Amino acid sequence: MKNIILLFIVFSSTLTLLAQETFFIPTETRYWNSTKAYNGYTLFGSGGTTYLIDMEGHVIHSWKIGTNPRFTEGGTLLDAVGGDPSNSNVWKELDWSGNTVWTYTEKRSNYHPHHDFVKIYNPKLGDSTFMYIANKDYTSAQCLAAGANPASVSGGVYTGVQLDVVVEVNRAGKIIWEWAFFDHVVQDFDATKTATYGVVKNTPGKININMTGNPLKSDWLHCNSMDYNQTLDQVVINSVHGEFYVIDHGNTFVKNDSAASVTLAASSAGNFLYRFGDPYKYGQGSAPSFSTNPEKTSTGNKQIGGAHDIQWIKSGLPGEGNFLIFNNGQNLYEMTPQSYIVEINPFLNSSGTKTSAFVDPPTAGYNVVSPANSNLMKEKKNISKQITWMYSSKNNTSFFSTIGSSAQRLPNGNTFVCAMNSGHFFEVCPTDTSIVWEYINPFTRSGIKKIKTDTYPTDNAAFRAYRYTATHPALAGHDLTPGKTMTGYDPSYLVPADITAIQKIAEQINKGVVSQNYPNPFSVNTNIEFDLPTDQKLSVVIYDLNGRAVRNLANRMFFSGKNTLVWDGTDDSGSKLNSGLYCYVLMNNNIKVGNKMIFTR
């Protein structure tokens, strides 16, 4: 059997998860470069609980809510209730002790909140408010009147159509502003409506109600993230289908007149100020496609697909005012898909000059970029000139996530990333794109695990994760004494000094330093042999497939040369274990190596 290397190796801009190839992944903190990481506390929700951990993975605090949590500037924890980011109509703010200090429920039966929300300070109102995304129901008659093509739906009738809206409520729970995609549609199907709805290609400020490949349906746009810029008084909202849109809040909001605000938001003043991601959707770019050779594909002018967590980089941070988004990489028609982190400056023109107004991305133009390496199995593609920074791992699958996920710009210029599918958090340095901190969420559907085995995606998912410091209003003045880790084990992670040693150990493993146990399979005893280049202290532990340590076989000094241990299939209490697949792991400080073996009774 092939050796298993139960560790992460981080070299330069490469994030290589060797355990991914061998199905056994140690959880919690895996690597920490304390001199380059932005040291603080990481917040994430998993399995209905929100955890706040330090850099080593010690739990600082937890709350019994955990859907899509984040701290507010007011010092509270804000989250949706119910555990499912895609469907929740109740939100709560909790204090440090878990007491509810504010709650809101969407009670309208034709509104279906989902995914994202944000607490803001509304400068025109002079008070904090709450915004959220919801799907709103529309009738067949409304869709046809707006120019929808009835032939695109079986039977010629639209049923169950939903388009997203952004709703704003004040602290008393009163709706004070609402913006709807349906109020900003354009179509080319019915010429008699052109004067009212415009022409798709010439109207980038509206969305095509007859979008190619995506006929009207429930959750039509599937918007999954939003953000608010107080300085600009604008909102940005992202659709999973490959675009995000900027809309004007300040010039469509009327203080103390919600009806006037809704009317103004539905007018031309509420049309998109900017959109990015897929200009084909408004007739100004080419779509992803296959060539005459079905093994060759093109991403066209599409830049993002399945993306999540659109945001403005906050004032005072490197890249302030730019957009940052986790580009999941779905539906980009790359032969080998992968995820990216993308930073966009919407004010750049074709010469790379920053202007004072939003520039339509097709006007800014594209650079034709070749893949960095032939082994990526990718074709050349068009990259928008407005993209100022983009990160991807050299190994396509190192943080590929099909859904969810987040990215956060940190004050030291690093970017903190959460890949939802694998509960994978890491921090990347912008100068050399090296990884300076890495963590695997140990909370799985079957419990908290020290070792994550091969599972289907999202088994240990975290929708998003955020990094905060002790000076944040939610943490200042509270007891931040580290507790145990989530697994209860002492932290065991790599540091920069380990990298050279890991390279040497990896080379020795490839030369067969850790031999396969024999006999294998076995029913009575088996021999575990390994060669050591020097005398060193090792612990040898047997794990089952659930990541539980079932037998501590040894913890002592071993001499250089060949060493042999014998295991008889019993646990620490001397009881015979069940037949199955087990793993023996040799550990020396942060270095872990091992093999699989089969025990039969």
pLDDT one-digit tens code per residue, 430-471:
988 899 999 999 999 999 999 999 999 999 999 999 999 999
Domain, as residue range, for 177: 86-221+241-285
Q: Which of residues 285, 311, 341 is at a domain's end?
A: 285
Please report the DSSP string for 214-257 in residue order. --S-TTSS-EEEEEEETTTTEEEEEETTTEEEEEESGGG--TT-
Q: What integer pLDDT is reported at residue 11 of this predicted model?
A: 29
Vertex 164, ends 408 and 280: CA angle to 5°?
Answer: 75
Q: How much is the pTM? A: 0.82
Task: Examine the fold and report which residue of 231, 250, 285 is the final residue of a domain before the chain moves on.
Answer: 285
Farthest CA pair distance, the chain: 88
Give residue-wise pLDDT tens across range 188-245.
888 887 666 668 999 999 999 999 889 999 999 999 999 999 999 999 999 999 999 9
Tallying the residues shown for the chain, one arrives at: 601
- Considering the domain boundaries, does residue 1 fall inside one? no
Quote the DSSP letter at residue 515: P
- Annotate 88-147 with DSSP letters as a single string: --EEEEE-TTS-EEEEEE---TTEEEEEEEEEEEETTTTEEEEEEEEEEEE-HHHHHHTT
| Total tally of structural domains belonging to the chain | 2
d(CA 133, CA 143): 21
500 has pLDDT over 60: no
Decide if pLDDT at 576 tops 90.
Answer: yes
Q: Is residue 261 part of a domain?
A: yes
The structure tokens listed for 173 are 């729970």
CATH number at residue 526: 2.60.40.4070
- Residue 553 scores a pLDDT above 80: yes
Give dist(CA 3, CA 485) in Å, integer.
28
Asked whether residue 576 is domain-assigned, the answer is: yes
pLDDT tens for each residue of 313-372: 999 999 999 999 999 998 898 989 999 999 999 999 999 999 999 999 999 999 999 998
CB 215 within 8 A of CB 152: yes
Residue 104, both tokens: 């809101």
Amino acid present at 33: N
Query: Is 194 a member of any domain?
Result: yes
Domain boundary among 230, 263, 285: 285
User: DSSP state, 66?
Assistant: -
d(CA 5, CA 29): 17
Residue 417 falls inside a structural domain = no
Confidence of residue 581 (pLDDT cuts 50, 70, 90): confident
Structural contact between residues 200 and 188, judged by C-beta atoms closer than 8 angstroms: yes
Residue-level pLDDT at 7 = 35
Question: CA–CA separation, 409 vs 411, rounded Å?
Answer: 7
For residue 409, list its beta bridge partners. Answer: 415
Residue 104: inside a domain, yes or no? yes
Please report whether residue 128 resides in a domain.
Answer: yes
**Angle CA 166–208–253, to nearest 5:** 30
Residue 468 lies in a domain: no
- The secondary structure element, H or E, covering residue 176 is strand 175-180
Q: Which of 327, 390, 380 is nearest to 13 (CA)?
A: 390
